[in-house]
């Protein structure tokens, strides 16, 4: 990464660059002139920041410090104008040699025109570049690079090799008294008192010559000196609360008694003997022996979606590798809302810990019960010969991708438990069901209500209980304010804490969060902002950015206010930045300054609550997109070390509040000639590191701050959607997960689900009921031999059975979705197999039914075409063969479907799983898309073709009839033929219409970006299943033959039901 601070650029002090910077230049090459005018702190201070000294032109005498007034007094004495410097000429380049002045156009040009090279002081005798001491500032001659102190000038002694330090004062002779200063007019003064004292003691000012050469460069500018603007502007008019500095009373500590007798222990007196109480890591009479132990430092990264009253309890086991026996056991209670930035220290001690490993189980609990198990980790221990071994681990978030890649877990012995895999290891372990314990989960063990049993012959207790079986009530008393809740932390120490309610925080919930409200958005903003990142930034006195809080929001409506609480802070910081992500492209984001207080004001006043707005005028510019860096010269194409030296143009030539590039974030001051405040800024810090939870190339934006992680997925275009971009429309066809997944309320019972879920369930019940009744009647009809006189009967018989199974699978698939989103199921292997079977059936059965309907349409066309010559027996043989071939072909083409189904888990909402489609290669995805189009468009085109041929045949017969019987008109004969074959045409027309609707919805508009489009796709999904429930109405009722059979069987059923007593 580029590691130059902009403050170090073009300041005359070259930093040793790396090799790549040597190739492209250094921090002191290619510097633009306006760098020397970039800050008020370097203007009119007597020191030349610019090579030509322009930063010291046009300065009033009062604006200069006392030590820097010599040059200005000489400037006035010699009548120099605003563009000239004082100069004692040694060349004739200046046309007016009667005045001791030189134009700024002749300074800093590399040619020495003045004594002591005062016009070229940056290149000669500059202590910052040459390594000289500050006092060696007078240059002897042009051919000699030696520099001497200014105090040696005109002292009667030759300090320069050629005596140049005395030639400038040619009126002074060598035999003058040392210690005196002799003016041109004969006046004499004590040198120590008059030379370079900021006053003209000599009439011509000789005592102040060259004094400004000894002025040092100013110290590094602090932010206190830079005046950044208020935002919003009316913020400067509000009554801000001043800081009240509390007085701290220091309580002196008592003198501790000597503990040399016990090694890290506590000495106690037992009658006349002195004994030692040893710390856990030591033992012996005087704690001289170190006990074998494992020292573990834990950092817990939790999800921001975890409820405030839910705690994380970690169970740590020290397990023997050979026997899997638990050697040591410890518990850690972690409250994310309180311990978010804590690191826990745990000691596991055992005399037989040489060949062992550490196992950590993660559970979530509350006051009344254990909510559930989340994950387990296994950590192997190296160096078994050491008495103390250390382990530093960071737990969370969960890597379910690793676990889901394994579908078969085999434990050597797991009787009453579940065989699970560790998070970061391929090893497996047996987790006991509640009520069982032991290595093999073969021993009964009962716990109190709300607790669960563990492998270690102990129970995992909720926060209000403790003990081996959790029968002891954990009663704590704590002091709290503002309706807080008292939570016990550790039963052994009786410690407790306050869980604050609302916007309060502090040890006793006595303080209230500061908050910032984004009340309005300007009209240039879209209606919905996909992802918004609010960063509360504290600016230090040297301009460094420290993030106090970062908040992540998604789908923010610009028509509503957004209130952000500054967690654990009573006052707002001096700067709040809003980062808006516009699309799934990594670089497609913008920054806004939504709150800003100048540092001087911020030091003395604080703001608790404020309302602001998100305005386009506060948008930070990307220097890579600014026209001033592209025209007339493409500065962006310069090497980076050279390009950043032009960044001051961003503030001086534009009305900006801030700007940024790939490395820096810069704030512009009020006055354009001041230095911009630039800080290193990692623009990719919000991009999810491994693991990346977002699928299908979705942009994962995360917020890892103070031990809590949260993330949001921004899906590409509109083909993918869902919380993890796991759903798709069009490329994999319509699925019930994709259509209902965004409306599911995970973890909620059916009564609390959305109206869409309830309507879908009602619609499915009606469809399945009607479909089962209709298809059963069709099976009864086509089971009769008379109804299977042609091949169509066989097609419709199998179609009815396929339709029944398809409708049942559809109901089971919806039930699967409800159950997996409302209830946590731990057996993931069975869930995955069930999902694969359901999806395979819902893929192949509809396709079989559609192609069988195509066969019916083709055969009916043949019947019309051949009439009495149609061979029924041959059609039955062909039908039997086609039914078998279709089943084999479609099953072979769909065999890849189970392999593309995987389950995933959203770590923000717990162990609720989704069954999604995930392809291992683009070729397989392309094949599946082509197959989908064939199975949709194929039946549609064939039905359209068969119906067209059918109408053509009818028209041809009509023309033949017209030639033989001219009494009937064309329309009359056509109408008669259509009426005769209406059951053929009607069936084909209904199938054609339903297939066309599904084809349009699936392959037409593939974008779900609004709720009403989701409703259209959901309707299209149900429409696609209408043929499976309407076989009776499409094929049976329109046909006179089948209708007669139906009426006959209905009468038999009615007669049978009446005869039953």
| Residue showing tokens 């779900």 | 1008
Pick among 2.10.25, 1.10.3470, 3.30.410, 2.60.40: CATH of 475-512: 2.10.25
β-pair partners for 546: 538
Q: What is the pLDDT of residues 181-220, one digit of tens each?
A: 888 888 888 888 888 888 888 888 888 888 888 776 665 4
- Which residue ranges make up each domain of the chain? 40-214, 292-474, 475-512, 513-705, 711-1054
Q: 3-state SS of the chain: helix, strand, coil percent to 5?
A: 35, 25, 40
The rounded Cα 717 to chain-centroid distance in angstroms is 18
Q: How many CB atoms lie within 10 A of CB 873?
A: 10
Residue 798 belongs to what H/E stretch? helix 791-822
Residue 584 in contact with residue 715, Cβ under 8 Å?
yes
First to last CA, the chain: 90
Question: Any idea what DSSP says for residue 706?
Answer: T
Q: What is the pLDDT of residue 379?
A: 93
Backbone phi, then psi, for 538, in 5-degree steps? -100, 125
Strand bridging mode 302-303 / 708-714: parallel
Omega before 691 within 30 of 0, i.e. cis: yes
Instruction: Specify the CATH class of 292-474 in words.
Output: mainly beta
Q: Measured between alpha carbons, how far is residue 264 from residues 269, 335, 390 in Å?
A: 17, 31, 19
Cα–Cα dist 1046/774, whole Å: 11
Q: Which structure tokens are listed for 1041?
A: 């033959």
Q: What is the pLDDT of residues 880-905, one digit of tens each?
A: 899 899 999 999 988 888 888 888 88
β-pair partners for 651: none
Q: How confident is the model at residue 532 (pLDDT cuts 50, 70, 90)?
A: very high
pLDDT surpassing 80 at residue 156? no
pLDDT surpassing 90 at residue 353? no
Q: How many CB atoms lie within 10 A of CB 263?
A: 16
| Residue showing tokens 């409506």 | 557
Angle between helices 828-866 and 922-964 (to 10 degrees): 20
Cα–Cα dist 297/306, whole Å: 23
Question: Any idea what DSSP says for residue 1036?
Answer: I
SS3 70: helix
Cα–Cα dist 31/642, whole Å: 8
Cα–Cα dist 241/602, whole Å: 11
pLDDT surpassing 80 at residue 60? yes
Q: What is the pLDDT of residue 246?
A: 39
Omega before 536 within 30 of 0, i.e. cis: no
Q: What is the pLDDT of residues 469-507, one digit of tens each?
A: 999 888 777 777 888 888 887 777 677 888 888 888 888
pLDDT surpassing 80 at residue 21? no
The rounded Cα 441 to chain-centroid distance in angstroms is 41
Q: Where are the alpha helices (DSSP H) in 433-502?
A: none
Burial class of 168 by CB neighbour count within 10 A (0 to 12, 13 to 18, 19+): middle
SS3 1020: helix
Cα–Cα dist 44/62, whole Å: 10
Q: How many helices (H) and strands (E) does the chain have?
A: 21, 49
pLDDT surpassing 50 at residue 243? no
Q: Which structure tokens are listed for 548?
A: 């106090």
Q: What is the pLDDT of residue 220?
A: 46
Residue 702 in contact with residue 710, Cβ under 8 Å?
yes
Question: What would the DSSP string read from start to end of 317-352?
Answer: EEEETTT--EEEEEEEEE-TTTSTT-EEEEEEE-TT
Q: How many CB atoms lie within 10 A of CB 711?
A: 25
Q: What is the pLDDT of residue 44?
A: 80
Radius of gyration of the chain (CA): 43
Strand bridging mode 485-490 / 495-499: antiparallel
Angle between helices 1040-1059 and 755-782 (to 10 degrees): 100
**Total residue length of the chain:** 1061
Question: What would the DSSP string read from start to end of 815-879?
Answer: HHHHHHHHS----HHHHHHHHHHHHHHHHHHHHHHHHHHHHHHHHHHHHHHHGGG--HHHHHHHH
Q: What is the mean pLDDT of the chain?
A: 79
Residue 775 in contact with residue 1031, Cβ under 8 Å?
yes
Q: What is the pLDDT of residues 659-709, one digit of tens each?
A: 998 888 888 877 665 667 788 888 888 888 777 788 888 889 988 877 778
Residue 575 belongs to what H/E stretch? strand 575-581
Q: Which structure tokens are listed for 642?
A: 């050279």
Q: Which residues contact 161 (CB under 8 A, 6 or more apart)?
A: 140, 144, 146
Q: How many CB atoms lie within 10 A of CB 26?
A: 16
Q: Which residues contact 446 (CB under 8 A, 6 or more apart)?
A: 435, 453, 469
Cα–Cα dist 154/183, whole Å: 10
Cα–Cα dist 500/311, whole Å: 14
β-pair partners for 138: 148
Cα–Cα dist 747/914, whole Å: 13
Q: Where are the alpha helices (DSSP H) in 753-790?
A: 755-782
What b-and-e string marks burial along 298-329, b requiring 16 or more CB atoms within 10 Å of the CB? Answer: bebebbeebeeebbbbbbbbbbbeeebebbbb
Burial class of 710 by CB neighbour count within 10 A (0 to 12, 13 to 18, 19+): buried
Backbone phi, then psi, for 895, in 5-degree steps? -65, -20
Q: Where are the alpha helices (DSSP H) in 596-695?
A: 599-604, 640-643, 648-652
Overall average pLDDT of the 723-730 stretch: 77
Q: Which residues contact 568 (CB under 8 A, 6 or more apart)?
A: 505, 513, 549
pLDDT surpassing 80 at residue 840? yes
Whole-prediction pTM: 0.74
Residue 228 in contact with residue 236, Cβ under 8 Å?
no
Classify domain 711-1054 at the CATH topology level.
Answer: Rhopdopsin 7-helix transmembrane proteins (1.20.1070)
Backbone phi, then psi, for 201, in 5-degree steps? -80, -35
Q: Which structure tokens are listed for 403?
A: 């676990």
Overall average pLDDT of the 250-269 stretch: 61
What b-and-e string marks burial along 189-225, b requiring 16 or more CB atoms within 10 Å of the CB? Answer: bebeebbbbeebbbeebbbbbbbbbbbebeeebebee
pLDDT surpassing 50 at residue 798? yes
Q: What is the pLDDT of residue 452?
A: 92
Which range is least confidently modeled, 236-240, 642-646, 794-798, 839-843? 236-240
Overall average pLDDT of the 112-122 stretch: 82
pLDDT surpassing 50 at residue 625? yes
């Amino acid at each position: 990464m580029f590691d130059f601070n902009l403050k170090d650029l073009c300041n005359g002090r070259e930093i040793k660059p790396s090799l790549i910077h040597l190739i492209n230049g250094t921090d002191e090459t290619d510097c633009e002139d306006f760098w020397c005018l970039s800050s008020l702190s370097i203007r009119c201070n007597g020191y030349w920041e610019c090579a030509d000294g322009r930063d010291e032109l046009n300065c009033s005498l009062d604006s200069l410090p006392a030590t820097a007034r010599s040059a200005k007094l000489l400037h006035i004495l010699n009548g120099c104008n605003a563009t000239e410097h004082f100069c004692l000429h040694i060349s004739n380049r200046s046309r007016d040699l009667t005045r001791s002045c030189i134009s700024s156009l002749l300074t800093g040009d590399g040619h020495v025109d003045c004594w002591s090279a005062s016009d070229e002081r940056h290149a000669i005798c500059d202590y910052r570049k040459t390594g000289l001491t500050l006092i060696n500032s007078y240059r002897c001659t042009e051919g000699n690079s030696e520099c001497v102190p200014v105090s040696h000038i005109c002292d009667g002694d030759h300090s320069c090799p050629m005596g140049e330090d005395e030639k400038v004062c040619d009126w002074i002779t060598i035999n003058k008294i040392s210690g005196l200063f002799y003016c041109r007019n004969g006046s004499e003064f004590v040198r120590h008192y008059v030379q370079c004292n900021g006053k003209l003691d000599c009439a011509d000012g000789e005592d102040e010559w060259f004094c400004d050469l000894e002025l040092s460069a100013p110290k590094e500018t602090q932010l206190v000196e830079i005046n950044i603007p208020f935002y919003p502007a009316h913020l400067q008019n509000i009554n801000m609360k001043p800081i009240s500095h509390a007085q701290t009373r220091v309580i002196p500590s008592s003198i501790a008694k000597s503990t040399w007798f016990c090694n890290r222990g506590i000495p106690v007196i037992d009658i006349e003997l002195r004994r030692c109480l040893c710390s856990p890591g030591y033992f012996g009479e005087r704690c001289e022996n170190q006990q074998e132990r494992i020292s573990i430092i834990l950092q817990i990264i939790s999800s921001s979606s975890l409820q405030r009253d839910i705690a994380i309890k970690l169970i740590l086991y020290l397990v023997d590798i050979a026997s899997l026996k638990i050697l040591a056991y410890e518990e850690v209670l972690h409250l994310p809302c309180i311990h978010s930035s804590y690191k826990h220290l745990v000691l596991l001690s055992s005399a037989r810990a040489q060949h062992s490993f550490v196992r950590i189980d993660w559970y979530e609990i509350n006051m009344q019960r254990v909510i559930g198990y989340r994950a387990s980790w296994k950590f192997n221990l190296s160096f078994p010969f050491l008495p103390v071994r250390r382990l530093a681990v960071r737990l969370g978030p969960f890597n379910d991708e690793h676990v889901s890649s394994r579908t078969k877990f085999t434990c050597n012995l797991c009787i009453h438990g579940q065989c699970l895999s560790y998070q970061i290891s391929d090893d497996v372990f047996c987790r006991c069901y509640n009520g069982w314990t032991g290595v093999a989960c073969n021993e009964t063990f009962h716990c109190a209500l709300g607790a669960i049993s563990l492998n270690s012959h102990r129970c995992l207790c909720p926060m209000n209980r403790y003990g081996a079986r959790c029968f002891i009530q954990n009663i704590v008393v704590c002091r709290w304010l503002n309706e807080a809740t008292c939570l016990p932390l550790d039963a052994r120490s009786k410690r407790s804490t306050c869980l604050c309610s609302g916007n309060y925080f502090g040890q006793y919930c006595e303080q209230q969060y500061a908050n910032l409200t984004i009340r309005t958005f300007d009209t240039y903003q879209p209606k919905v902002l996909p992802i918004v990142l609010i960063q509360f930034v504290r600016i230090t006195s040297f301009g460094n950015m420290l993030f106090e809080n970062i908040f992540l929001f998604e789908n923010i409506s610009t028509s509503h206010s957004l209130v952000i609480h500054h967690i654990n802070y009573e006052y707002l910081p001096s700067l709040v930045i809003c980062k808006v992500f516009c699309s799934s492209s990594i670089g497609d984001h913008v920054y806004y300054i939504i709150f800003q207080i100048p540092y001087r004001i911020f030091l003395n006043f604080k703001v608790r609550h404020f309302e602001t707005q998100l305005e386009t005028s506060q948008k930070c510019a990307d220097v890579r997109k600014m026209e001033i860096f592209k025209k007339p010269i493409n500065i962006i194409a310069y090497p980076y070390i050279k390009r950043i030296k032009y960044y001051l143009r961003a503030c001086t030539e534009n009305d900006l509040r801030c700007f940024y590039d790939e490395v820096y974030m810069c704030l512009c001051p009020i006055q354009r000639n001041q230095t911009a405040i630039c800080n290193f800024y990692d623009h990719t810090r919000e991009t999810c590191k491994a693991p990346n939870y977002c699928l299908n190339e979705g942009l994962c934006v995360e917020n890892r701050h103070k031990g809590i992680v949260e993330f949001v997925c921004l899906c590409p275009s509109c083909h993918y959607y869902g919380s993890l971009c796991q759903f798709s429309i069009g490329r994999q066809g319509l699925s019930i997960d994709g259509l209902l997944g965004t409306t599911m309320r995970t973890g909620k019972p059916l009564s609390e689900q959305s109206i869409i879920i309830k309507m879908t369930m009602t619609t499915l019940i009606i469809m399945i009921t009607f479909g089962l009744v209709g298809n059963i009647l069709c099976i009864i009809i086509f089971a009769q031999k008379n109804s299977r006189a042609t091949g169509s009967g066989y097609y419709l018989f199998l179609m009815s059975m396929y339709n029944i199974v398809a409708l049942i699978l559809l109901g089971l698939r919806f039930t699967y979705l409800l159950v997996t989103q409302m209830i946590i199921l731990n057996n993931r292997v069975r869930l995955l197999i069930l999902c694969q079977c359901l999806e395979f059936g819902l893929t192949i059965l509809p396709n079989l039914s559609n192609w069988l309907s195509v066969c019916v349409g083709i055969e009916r066309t043949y019947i019309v075409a051949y009439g009495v010559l149609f061979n029924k027996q041959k059609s039955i043989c062909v039908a039997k063969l086609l039914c078998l071939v279709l089943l084999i072909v479609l099953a072979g083409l769909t065999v890849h479907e189970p392999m593309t189904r995987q389950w995933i888990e959203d770590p923000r909402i717990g162990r609720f799983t989704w069954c999604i489609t995930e392809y291992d290669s683009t070729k397989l995805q392309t094949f599946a898309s082509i197959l989908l189009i064939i199975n949709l468009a194929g039946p549609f085109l064939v039905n359209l073709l068969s119906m067209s041929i059918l109408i053509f045949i009818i028209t041809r017969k009509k023309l033949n009839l017209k030639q033989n019987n001219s009494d009937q008109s064309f329309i009359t004969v056509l109408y008669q033929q259509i009426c005769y074959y209406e059951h053929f045409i009607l069936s084909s027309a209904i199938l054609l219409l339903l297939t066309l609707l599904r084809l349009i919805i699936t392959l037409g508009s593939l974008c779900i970006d609004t709720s009403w489009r989701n409703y259209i796709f959901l309707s299209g999904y149900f429409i696609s299943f209408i043929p499976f429930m309407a076989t009776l109405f499409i094929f049976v009722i329109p046909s006179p033959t089948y209708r007669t059979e139906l009426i006959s069987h209905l009468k038999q059923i009615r007669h049978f039901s009446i005869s039953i007593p």
